[in-house]
Amino acid sequence: MARPVIAIVGRPNVGKSTIFNRVIGDRLAIVEDKPGVTRDRIYGTGEWNGRAFSIVDTGGIEIDGEDEIMKSVRMQAELAVEEADVIIFMVDAKAGMTHADDEVAQMLFRSRKPIVVAVNKVDNFNRMDDVYEFYGLGFGTPVAISGSHGTGIGDLLDAAVEKLPEQVDEEYDEDVIRVALIGRPNVGKSSLVNAILGEERVIVSDVAGTTRDAIDTPFEKDGQRYVLIDTAGMRKRGKVYETTEKYSVMRSLKAIERADVVLILINGEEGIIEQDKHIAGYAHEAGKASIFVVNKWDAVERDEKTMSHFTQDVRDHFLFMHYAPIAFLSAKTKQRLHKLLPIVNHVSEQHALRIQTHVLNDVISDAVAINPPPTDKGKRLRINYATQVATKPPTIVIFVNDPEIMHFSYERYLENKIRAAFNFEGTPVRLFTRRKSDSD
């Protein structure tokens, strides 16, 4: 089930990044008192009153400026607005209502999305009178907040969450493998869907951004049922957006959340770029089974070493996803296509694999015997036992005498030993350390 999306929009320097950071409880967005400093959309997840949601911090919308940075951040905000279920329109109490605010409001009216107006920088009661003029925007009662002091955030989230759509459970059986295809535009996602299906079910074009919405396509192969979730392209309004690879992440996020297995497509002709790493990182953070698919391999000039060199490039660029297998294929010619679904089946099984507690503890005991935990300030870590508490992804809790002296390098060592014993190919493994209590 995909989380609903809340987007924070507004002109530059009204405090969007500060509010975003308070909602997600982390400082992911750059905060600086300078217009236009948030140049890329930043994504996070939050929960309020039992409702989980994704939240996006956009670059500010500058209506009049036509320099490249402002065109870019306006484009990002427009695309975020298209993908959002609820929009927080942020304004500045100190600056008052500006012409730019009014222009942004007109854009938001056209979106026909639920809007909550957040009046930021209401740092004391003397500024409450400054809130009333924002009734003139026409979006109902504004919410007074202070990003610097953290006041009013609960009221803002109450108003935003109240407007979120009701979540509907998907009607796919447990044995159906949901496969999302993600990647920047024009890497061949729709072509790969067509190649797998063996028929023209979705639009295929050389122009980046021709698939308007994520398309679910159920099919069956060798007795296994699948749903392909194609996320190609971005919606276009009025004009074709340049450098659309910068703006493809929100749709990928939605598809990732709904998937069991994620196919991360890379253009074999162009090689790996920074955006590929950003998109892959979301699949990793979401704990999904993943496969790197190097497409357009038919168009690559190669010799007997080309594939091994490209494999090494993938491993070097995606160090955090060492577990993900790599498939080289061509959607156009169907070269090596027959190998893809067996890999999907395999990583899906690994993603759902559950290890018996006694077997897991035998592996942990052997690992400790070979390489005992180091001491920290004269205190040695003692591992009592481990147990797997979840699948999809496999999640293991290790009970110890003192979690604070579990060094990340030793945790990585244990993960490597677990992988050596149980494989877990294609899936992240999450390890958590907890103090053993009397009840445990």
Domain around 401: 357-435
315, 350, 385 — which closes off a domain?
A: 350
| CA 60 to each of CA 15, 75, 100, 204, 428: distance values in angstroms, whole numbers, following the listed order | 10, 10, 11, 34, 35
Task: Give the SS3 label for residue 105.
Answer: helix
Both 98 and 205 in one domain: the answer is: no
Least confident window among 18-22, 311-315, 396-400, 412-416: 18-22
362 and 346 part of one domain? no
Tens digits of per-residue pLDDT, 165-187? 887 656 677 889 999 998 877 78
| In a shared domain, residues 22 and 91 | yes
Judge whether 246 and 275 are in contact, CB under 8 Å.
Answer: yes
Same domain for 413 and 312, yes or no, is no
CATH number of domain containing 263: 3.40.50.300
- Binding site as annotated, residues for GTP: 10-17, 57-61, 120-123, 183-190, 230-234, 295-298
344, 370: one domain: no
Q: Which two tokens stand for residue 203?
A: 């639009």
| Burial letters 369-405, b for 16+ CB under 10 A, else e | eeeebeeeeeeebebebbbbeeeebbbbbbbbeeeeb
Instruction: Please tell me whether residues 362 and 341 are part of one structural domain.
Output: no
Q: What is the mean pLDDT of residues 25-35?
A: 50
Instruction: State mean pLDDT over 307-321.
Output: 94
Q: Which of 295, 324, 350 is the last residue of a domain?
A: 350
Residue 30 pLDDT greater than 50, yes or no: no
Give pLDDT tens digits for 88-112.
999 999 989 888 888 888 888 888 8
**Band of residue 23 on the pLDDT scale cut at 50, 70, 90:** confident
Domain boundary among 319, 334, 350: 350
Residue 268 sits in the same domain as residue 249: yes
Checking if the pLDDT of 67 tops 90, the result is: no
Q: Is residue 168 part of a domain?
A: no
The tokens for 184 are: 């920047």
Q: Is residue 171 part of a domain?
A: no
The pLDDT-based confidence of 345 (bands split at 50, 70, 90) is: very high
Residue 440 belongs to a domain: no
Task: Mark whether 34 and 77 lie in a shared domain.
Answer: yes
345 close to 175: Cβ distance less than 8 angstroms: no
Verify that 203 and 292 share a domain, yes or no.
yes
Task: Count up the domains in the chain and report the number.
Answer: 3
167 within a domain of the structure (yes/no)? no
CA 207 vs. chain centroid, Å, equals 25
Q: Calculate what percentage of the chain has a pLDDT beyond 70.
A: 80
- Same structural domain for residues 67 and 125? yes
Say which range, 11-25, 68-82, 228-242, 249-263, has the weakest mean pLDDT: 228-242
The annotation places the binding site at 10-17, 57-61, 120-123, 183-190, 230-234, 295-298
Residue 393 belongs to domain with CATH number: 3.30.300.20
Given pLDDT bands bounded at 50, 70 and 90, which one contains residue 206?
Answer: very low
**Three-state DSSP class for residue 73:** helix
Q: How far is CA 133 from the centre of its chain?
A: 37
Q: Are residues 321 and 394 in the same domain?
A: no
Instruction: Please check whether residues 309 and 407 belong to one and the same domain.
Output: no
